[in-house]
Amino acid sequence: MFHQPDLFEPLTTPVQRMDMPALVERIMTVSPRPRYTLIVLNLLAKGADPAGVAGPYIVDEGHRVPVLDWLGKAMIPMAQRHHRRQAIRRSLVDDLKARDAMPEDAERGSPADILV
């Protein structure tokens, strides 16, 4: 029916270890978002313990935090408004104001924030 491999059986093919250039090349050819992938890998390398293990928890400010929570917190600065996005937002808001199409409550922040 199906084959259940023996987990303790020695590998028949040796595991090929990759150096950094080979890893980056593989990521660039396989990943649809290679920069994002490299950023996540870099964060995981920084969060790894002295043995090189990152997970299932990472010690952050003296507390053990799940890896996904730690990655989310570490990536928050990337989600901040970038200067290019701010420039695009300003030009859109200026265009809407010039055409007198700016929503009335935009000054309070809600619709204009959608343009971020």
Least reliable range by pLDDT among 28-37, 72-81, 104-113? 104-113
Domain ranges of the chain: 20-79, 83-114
List residues bridging with 58 in a β-sheet. 65
Put simply, whether the predicted model's pTM sits higher than 0.75 gets the answer: no
Which pLDDT tens digit goes with each residue over 72-86?
898 887 776 677 777
SS3 for 26?
A: helix
